[in-house]
Chains A and B, each alone.
Chain A
Amino acid sequence: MTMSQSTSDGPRADPRGSSESTSVLSLISATKSFGAVAALTDGSVDLRAGEIHALVGENGAGKSTLVKVLAGVHQPDSGRFLVEGADVVFRSPADSKTAGISVIYQEPTLFPDLTVAENIFIARQPRGRLGLIDRPAMRTMARELFARLGVPIDPDRIADGLSIADQQIIEIAKAISLDARILVMDEPTAALSGVEVDRLFAVARSLRDRGTAILFISHRFDEVFELCDRITVMRDGAFIATHQTAEITVDGLVREMVGRDIATLFPKQEAQIGDVVLSVERLSRSGVFSDISFEVRSGEIVALAGLVGAGRTEVARAIFGIDRYDSGSVLIDGKRLRRHTPQAAIDAGMGFVPEDRRKQGLVMDLSVARNATLTLRRQLARFGLINAREERKTAEEWTTRLQVKTGSQDLAVSTLSGGNQQKVVIAKWLATNPKLLIVDEPTRGIDVGTKAEVHRLISELAVRGIAVLMISSELPEVLGMADTVLVMHEGRISAALDRSEATAEIVMHAASASPEILT
């Protein structure tokens, strides 16, 4: 089995060639496109038996797509896929399982009303006399699995109410019971506490020592360096390099992940920064975020950076009145918002472009025109009745201004491309003439070309004097667009940086690390 060298443009020699004898899984130059969006252009990874292998990259680098290819959820458009040296084609997740691959997702799906043991052995429970399920045997088998993992979980308890950490352990137990030799962990630590992470790592190490190959996807560098033997970096859907952990530093990794000259990608226009529009004072919600204070001025773009799960979206939702908060206050133009409903926020001049365009941003089955004017439904009414002519004119005006490409205003918005859908979302908020626009992951799932257009749009909003609060997990976007960068870590703001002092390294550290690494 020879590996194509052309895939590596990393700074170091490609370490993959030397691993022939022990490679249990190799994905070589896999590609995968969804319509116009190329999610994976060169998906390559090489896993050896008995190693923990990290896969790192920014959001949108193609890690999730690669994981789904391994899991049999997606079929690659091209490329080679070898398991134990033999070419494989997975048509379904079941094929992947049969080949010995198990994927542990961030939030496992257990059946809440079945017992722990049954969740492990669902649809393949051991059977005894009369074909009845042999529960004592099942219990014993589950106990043995947990004993091997060194984690005591009662096999007879109902899965409902188990912590995410325990659910992951159960998924791992299921993987072992399926004789999985390859374990893929997709950001398993995102929702875990410190103790739980330690326990998970202990389990991972003991599996590695027994010869299992583990692919570990994480945003947290401290974890990657603590746990993993090798690290593969991805960027823009492509393989960049694989390193021995001992041979690379955090800074080196970040450089490879970002890998671009940010300034040229984001020609941010200079905007006149004016008065404070939004001020958030000591906003807290127990268990979610605490003590959040910041301001956004007109013409200013403030970025909320941080890892998934750091509480950024939750803060934005609370500001906009979708979720409640326990204490603190939200002020627009110095006036405190008394009612905590989205309508009150909209009346005060806020708009919200949510992260999940398909579920939250748009009503996918409604027409482009209806979506574009949904925020204006009250303003468009005269004597309580909607002025249909005005409604259509407004929709046309805004979709034209934002250059939404659609065959007709009457087509369901679901027929548009991702980028054009996002423009409809932005259009419907611009139509309300907002003072403050919250944009949550504005370019997620949008192809590279349209991304730049969305960025230009946001930049223009700022020039026009709109205050923008942008949540983004993409570092270049944050560094390229923001006047001020706020970094959140575990529900708190861990760093507030001016545009001039924000660098990839500093933001990454503040987002992922404990304070020691920060210094």
Chain B
Amino acid sequence: MPNATATRSTATAAPVKVKSNARRVLLGRDANTVYALILVVILASIFVPFFAGVTTVSFLLIDAVPILLMAMPMALIIITGEIDLSVASTAGLSAAVMGVLFHDAHWSLGWVFVACLLVGLVCGAFNGILISTIGLPSLAVTIGTLALFRGLALVVIGDSAVADFPVALTTFATSTIGGTGIPTVMIFVLIVILIFGVVLHFTPFGRSLFALGFSKEAATFVGIHVNRSKFWLYVASGVISSIAGVFWVLRYSSAQSDSVKGLELSVVAAVLLGGVSIFGGLGGIVGVVAGVLLIRTVNYSLQLAGLPDTVLTIVTGTLLVLSVIAPSISGRLRLSADRKRSKSLPREATAT
């Protein structure tokens, strides 16, 4: 976990502090997810036949690519205390546009990609304007755009599917680096992860996201542009989602109206599993990456163990619910302990 370690360990050389830094890295929210991931990988290698191997790396990672991509902006958005449920629909709309422009309008692939990114940009900006400028609740807005963008995908491509993309391109999308089993596109994904990690953990903008996730008012007082920050996060989310949509089309060699459908759940679940608090303010990119890989690993090993795909949604759903209620329940226990100590204080807020 390079990011988290770097921020903290460079901070001071005093021996006492180093110890506490090490403790924080080893015991932090991020770390729990990493441990869980390691544990699951070990268990799966022992108990699931055919799990340990190059093909596993290949399949596991390539299925993780769209989720990894969309989880990056989603992590930042949830850290600011908002949410974006429309990511999969944005990806779906891009996929549909891609299919139609390529197949029906005969655009060159380069322009098709540009158009797809533009679609993502517009979708993100639309969310951003409704949420930051007009101030509507992001949950409600993105439920609306989840339906709207998916609906537009239907309008664009109807119930047909476009599958005649150049073979060279679709094989490239699923190709691996040498014999490692690591998909070539992971290089691009890693760059995206790195960018978001650096932005979140090492830039003034990242600092302000954590601050505004905890308290919008306090953030305003130190000159953080609350609305502008949120707007750009949604734009980023839209653009990255459209890239995920393009990849999806190439990976499955097919563009249709229900491409990427339902993936928003996996993305949100992965981000929350990765230690990002649903209430905002807490989280890190390392944990999110671990969260995505954890979900994929669990699903993949169960698949290998013979469970049908459709049933696996139970696992994803359960992981989502657990990842949300676990920190909340432990937080409640702590709170009730606090309350016992100073019984009258919590009521103060409600009475005035």
Contacts and interface: CB of A to CB of B under 8 A. Distances in A.
A and B touch in the complex (CB under 8 A): yes
Interface of A: 34-35, 64, 68, 71, 73-75, 92-93, 105, 320, 322, 341-343, 345-346, 352, 354, 356, 359-366, 370, 374-375, 377-378, 380-381, 384-386, 388-389, 391-392, 408, 410, 428
A359 B223 contact: no
B113 interface: no
Nearest to B212: A363
Contacts of A381: 203-204
B215 A342 contact: no
B218 A359 contact: yes
B225 interface: yes
Contact of A360 (B207, B214, B217, B224): B217
B219 interface: yes
Contacts of A320: 221
B214 A365 contact: yes
A388 B7 contact: yes
Given A73-B344, A74-B348, 7 more contacts: A34-B342, A73-B347, A74-B344, A93-B351, A363-B210, A366-B210, A428-B222
7 contacts: A68-B348, A93-B347, A362-B218, A380-B204, A385-B202, A386-B207, A408-B20
A103 to B, nearest CB: 8
Nearest to B198: A385
B351 A386 contact: no
Nearest to A342: B223
A384 B222 contact: no
B351 A71 contact: yes
B211 interface: yes
Contact of A366 (B12, B214, B347): B214
Contact of B344 (A64, A75, A384, A428): A75
Contacts of A341: 223, 225
A386 B221 contact: no
A384 B11 contact: no
B208 interface: yes
Contacts of A410: 20, 24
A402 B11 CA distance: 21
A450 to B, nearest CB: 19
Contacts, number: 110
A97 to B, nearest CB: 12
Contacts of A363: 210-211, 214-215, 218-219, 281
A382 to B, nearest CB: 10
A364 B348 contact: no
Given A342-B223, A361-B221, A388 B11 contact: yes
A410 B24 CA distance: 10
Interface of B: 6-8, 10-12, 20, 24, 198, 202-204, 206-208, 210-211, 214-215, 217-225, 281-282, 342-345, 347-348, 351-352
Given A34-B345, A73-B347, A74-B344, A377 B204 contact: yes
A346 B206 CA distance: 19
A389 B13 CA distance: 10
B1 to A, nearest CB: 16
Contacts of A354: 221
B103 to A, nearest CB: 41
A408 B214 CA distance: 21
B351 A361 contact: no
Given A341-B225, A389-B11, A408-B20, A364 B351 contact: no
Candidate in B8, B202, B207, B342 with the most chain A CB atoms within 10 angstroms: B207
A386 B211 contact: no
Contacts of A384: 203-204
Tell me the interface secondary structure of chain B in the complex: helix
Given A93-B351, A375-B223, A385-B203, A392 B214 contact: no
Contacts of A322: 220-221
In the A-B complex, list the 5 residue pairs whose CB atoms are closest, starting with the nearest: A343-B223, A377-B204, A73-B351, A342-B223, A346-B223
Contacts of B344: 73-75
B10 A377 contact: no
A322 B222 CA distance: 10
Contacts of B203: 381, 384-386
A75 B281 CA distance: 33
Contact of B208 (A35, A93, A377): A377
Candidate in B202, B223, B224, B225 with the most chain A CB atoms within 10 angstroms: B223
Candidate in B8, B281, B352 with the most chain A CB atoms within 10 angstroms: B352
A346 B20 CA distance: 34
Contacts of B221: 320, 322, 342, 352, 354, 360-361
B29 to A, nearest CB: 13
A342 B10 contact: no
A359 B12 contact: no
A388 B345 contact: no
Contacts of B7: 388
Contact of A392 (B6, B11, B211, B347): B11
Nearest to A410: B20
A386 B8 CA distance: 12
A179 B96 CA distance: 67
Contacts of A370: 207, 210-211
A343 B226 CA distance: 11
Contacts of A392: 11-12
A375 B222 contact: yes
B53 to A, nearest CB: 39
Contacts of A68: 348, 351
Nearest to A389: B10
B207 A342 contact: no
B218 A388 contact: no
B43 to A, nearest CB: 34
B80 to A, nearest CB: 12
B54 to A, nearest CB: 36
B217 A343 contact: no
A374 B210 CA distance: 11
Contacts of B11: 388-389, 391-392
A118 B351 CA distance: 20
Contact of B222 (A73, A74, A374, A389): A374
Contact of A364 (B202, B206, B214, B219): B214
B211 A73 contact: no
Nearest to B16: A408
Nearest to A65: B348
Contacts of B222: 342, 346, 374-375, 428
Contacts of A389: 10-12
A470 B43 CA distance: 63
Contacts of A408: 20
A160 to B, nearest CB: 19
A361 B210 CA distance: 15
Nearest to A353: B221
Contacts of B347: 73-74, 92-93
Contacts of B215: 359-360, 362-364
A428 B223 CA distance: 12
B202 to A, nearest CB: 5
B209 to A, nearest CB: 11
A361 B203 CA distance: 22
Contacts of A375: 222-223
B5 to A, nearest CB: 11
B245 to A, nearest CB: 29
A329 B177 CA distance: 63
Contact of B220 (A35, A73, A342, A386): A342
